[in-house]
Homo-oligomer: A and B are copies of this chain.
Amino acid sequence: MTEPKTQGPAVSTRAAKKQARDGKGNATIYDIAKVAGVNPSTVSRALSKPGRVSAKTQKLIEDAAAELNYRVNPFARALPTGRTNTMGLIVADITNPTFFDIIRGAETTGTARDYTLVLAESAESAETELTAARRMLTTADGLILASPRMDDDDIRALAADKPVVVINREVEGVPCVIPDVRKGIGEAVRSLAANGHKKLAFVAGPARSWMSARRWEGVQAACEWSHVDAVRVESTKPTVDGGRQVARDVLATKATAVLTYNDLLAIGLMQELQAGGMVVPDQISIVGFDDIFGADFTTPPLTTVRSPLGECGSGAATVLLDVLHGGKEPTAPLRVETELVLRGSSGRLLPPS
């Protein structure tokens, strides 16, 4: 590198490096054993379960390991044990910001406990999802499924193999982390009712989405309680574009307030309505779901029912790791709370002038 003629730089060095330490690759427990003057199995014990070895030898071995810059070979370890210190996470759509916080939450708590996160995307397809899940389970110690689209039975089949935790959906017999939508939706509907709204439209999400069904139930219940009419509108896809497309149907309902399956739909819907000359919230109130990144970029900023996504991700990871470490599988779903984030896109209806 420091020499004049730097031709194929990295490649050649790579080969050289491999040849270090007497022509072998990385240091092994055998090398440590030799240096420390003990048996390889003692090294193994000292390095995996401290305490099963005398303090003296322990130190001897640790020093030798440090000196040789030893690092375990994960594959060699995985072969007999099957454990890889790895957890898989499958999301429906990597670019959907809903999952960003989930990913981060899982990654952070995983890393904190020395687990690596392996990520895959299902592209909103139940089939791709199952394939990815199967593939991951061959190498990962456990799996987190965020808003899975596959059947309950498929999920249970996976869970029968290795620990699985589901986010945003309840599957009997499998540990789940689910936002409890009632509080947040209740707050949203009450706020809308207090502002004089009598009819509310709910823009639903994907048909296979368990969460969409729960949210619709929650909306109906809250509306009944607050004496508000609730009508349901179907969307084509849970994206900004889907929100634009559904605008026409929403208007047709004559509802003065809209609650959408997620923020993306809300943002698209708002854009389309505003483009059509409507004033938000003077002529129509819009409330989203999740409080994703960017929800407050809009004008007016989006009122939304926040799901603590990061908490879901870290909660799922925690449950998974606990089970992996011999803990019992939680029998009841881990519920996290939702809350209304009141911003500018909802409010009092202005009388038509």
Q: Which residues of B contact A328 (CB under 8 A)?
A: 8, 11
Q: At the interface, yes or no: A111 with Cβ under 8 Å from chain B? A: yes
- The interface bits of chain A over 148-172 (1 if a CB of B lies within 8 angstroms of the residue's CB, else 0) are 0000000010011111100000001
Asked if B120 contacts A119 (CB within 8 A), the reply is: no
Q: How far does the Cβ of A80 sit from chain B's closest Cβ, in whole Å?
A: 9
- The interface bits of chain A over 234-273 (1 if a CB of B lies within 8 angstroms of the residue's CB, else 0) are 0000000000000000000000000000000001000000
Q: Which residues of B contact A298 (CB under 8 A)?
A: 297-299
Asked if B138 contacts A71 (CB within 8 A), the reply is: yes
Query: Measured between alpha carbons, how far is A138 from B75 in the docked complex, in Å?
Result: 10
Q: At the interface, yes or no: A308 with Cβ under 8 Å from chain B? A: no
Q: Which residues of B contact A116 (CB under 8 A)?
A: 118, 120, 135-136, 139
Asked if B100 contacts A121 (CB within 8 A), the reply is: no
A interface residues, how many (CB within 8 angstroms): 60
Q: Which residues of B contact A1 (CB under 8 A)?
A: 156, 173
Query: Measured between alpha carbons, how far is A6 from B160 in the docked complex, in Å?
Result: 13
Q: Which residues of B contact A94 (CB under 8 A)?
A: 100, 103-104, 107
Query: Measured between alpha carbons, how far is A66 from B313 in the docked complex, in Å?
Result: 36
Q: How far does the Cβ of A157 sit from chain B's closest Cβ, in whole Å?
A: 9
Asked if A267 contacts B8 (CB within 8 A), the reply is: no
Q: At the interface, yes or no: A294 with Cβ under 8 Å from chain B? A: yes
> Closest B-chain residue to A267, C-beta based?
B297
Asked if B103 contacts A9 (CB within 8 A), the reply is: no
Q: A10-B159, A294-B297 are in contact. List 13 more A-B contacts (CB 8 A).
A: A1-B156, A8-B329, A9-B174, A11-B328, A75-B76, A75-B78, A75-B79, A75-B84, A76-B79, A116-B136, A116-B139, A118-B118, A298-B298
Shortest 8 CB-CB contacts between residues of A and residues of B: A294-B294, A299-B299, A9-B173, A297-B297, A75-B78, A13-B160, A94-B104, A10-B159
